[in-house]
A and B are shown apart, each in its own frame.
Chain A
Amino acid sequence: MFGIGIVEMGVLLLIPFLVLGVSAYFLATARRAAVMDEQLARARRHQVGISVLAGAAALATMPLAAALTPWLGQSTVLPLLPSLMSAAACGVLWVGELTFPRPTGLVRSTVLNARGLDSVLPRGWVRLCVGLAALNLVVFAAGALTADSGRAVAFGTRDTVGVASPYPGLGYVVPQLGALLVAGVVAWGTCRSATNRATIASDLDGDAVLRRASGGRVLRWLAWGLAATAAGDLLTGGSSWQSAAPAGQDWVGAAAVVLGAVLMIAAIALPFVPVARLAREPRPVTVAAR
């Protein structure tokens, strides 16, 4: 059931996403290209196109992951899905940074600007990712410490024993931690590549905005993976806790479910949060493009 459901969901989301994404790509790039520096317009077109492909890669991960369920099992693949989608999207963004338009022509100008990761990483997104990573660690630690076995929670009273699963014990937490680390490494590599990619010397302000937008997109996908992973663990773990816990302790599960639901709503909204955008007015040329 899970295999079919996730494939259908992936395809159902992928087709309208691609239609909307390609339309948005042409609308966004055609409207401003006329008033924008040529080099900046080319870079922006590249970034918007790669961003659409990153979203498509994330959605395409759903049916691909579902195809692994016969070998790995549904209970292994499903908890890893958010971080795998995040890693896939960040991977496409990384390819986008590596294939960023390079200067062409026989005479090439630039400015000597030593730039670091701080030129790429928007502080708000960094704070969000750090906060969500800390939340995931707390959820992982709490799950691992309170689980009865690797994937279940149990409460014993004088008369009865309550056991429920799935519960984010070590059996879920260790692979999730590994997958999130992979997503984090891919995101870090993408940000490094964005730092070292070619400068748009004809519009340094526009270049700074596009660089920050690159970092924003990467961290947005990373934050999405972190939020969806924590939300999934809190929702499933909280439900299992509520089922197994005796009266008086079941409020912990209810609180986890509420927090998980809030996080899930936040995760669904995250891809729609805008990153840095270029100003509507064309900027003055800072270095003569020859």
Chain B
Amino acid sequence: MPVGLTIDLRSASPAYEQVRAQVGGHIRAGTLPAGTKLPVVRALAADLGVAVNTVARAYQELEREGLVTTRRRVGTIVCDVVPVVSDEVNTAVDDLVAVTRAAGLPLDTVLDLVRGRISTPR
């Protein structure tokens, strides 16, 4: 199943950070398993209509975090990372995405809601 990626240019978060966060999230959630080859920088930049440097910086950050490794002639590969997100959480996130998408909520609003809930003491 293809893994999606969406950037919102209205967001306060810069585009490279959005790419880094989403790809990193997919790797940590296990939806991008170890050994998966990521698209080359130029191709992903074209796909998102952003500058090559934007994607290159996101990949550099991911490499610094130890989530991916870049090898010459091979490309950028996902490292062996133990998923920190269980299937139960993944399902809950999928449900949340489906509901908020149906409601037409922008990404920032959804993130604000999640941040608000998480920061609320139990």
Closest to A197 in B: B46
Contact with A along B29-49 (1 / 0, CB 8 A): 000100011111011101111
Q: In the complex, how many angstroms separate the beta carbon of B14 from the nearest chain A beta carbon?
A: 14
Give B17-35 interface residues, CB cut-off 8 Å to A: 23, 26, 32
The stretch of B2-10, B81-89, B114-122 in contact with A is B2-10
Chain A 170-201 near chain B by CB (<8 Å), digits 1 or 0: 00000000000000000000000001111101
Give A110-138 as 1s and 0s: 1 = Cβ < 8 Å from B's Cβ atoms. 11111100000000000000000000000
Chain B CB within 8 A of A42 CB: no
Q: Find the residue from A197, A199, A204 having the highest chain B CB count within 10 A.
A: A199
B48 touches A110 (CB 8 A): yes
**Interface presence of B75 (CB below 8 A):** yes
Do most interface residues of chain A lie in helix, strand or loop, or is the interface mixed?
loop
Q: What range describes how many residues of B lie at the interface? A: 20 to 34
Select from chain B the residue with minimum beta-carbon distance to A286.
Answer: B2
Partner-binding segment picked from A85-93, A99-107, A262-270: A99-107
Q: Which residues of A contact B37 (CB under 8 A)?
A: 114
User: Contact size class for A?
Assistant: 20 to 34
Query: Which of B5, B10, B36 is within 8 Å of A111, CB to CB?
Result: B5
Does A109 reach chain B (CB closer than 8 Å)? yes
Mask of B61-101 contacts with A, CB within 8 angstroms, 1/0? 00000000000000100000000000000000000000001
CB distance from B29 to the nearest CB of A (A): 13
Contact B10 A102 (CB under 8 A): no
> Contact at A113–B39, with CB atoms within 8 Å?
yes
A256 to chain B, nearest CB (A): 42
B38 touches A114 (CB 8 A): yes
Residue pair A199, B47 in contact (C-beta under 8 Å): yes
Closest approach, in angstroms, between the C-beta of A287 and any C-beta of chain B?
6
Residues A108 and B44 in contact, CB atoms below 8 Å apart = no
Q: Does A34 contact B (CB under 8 A)?
A: no
Q: Interface residues, chain A, CB within 8 Å of chain B?
A: 100, 102-104, 106-115, 195-199, 201, 204, 286-288, 290
Between A and B, 10 residue pairs with Cβ closer than 8 Å are A106-B8, A107-B6, A108-B7, A112-B2, A112-B39, A114-B38, A115-B43, A197-B43, A201-B47, A288-B101
Residues of B at under 8 Å CB distance from A? 2-10, 23, 26, 32, 36-40, 42-44, 46-50, 75, 101, 107
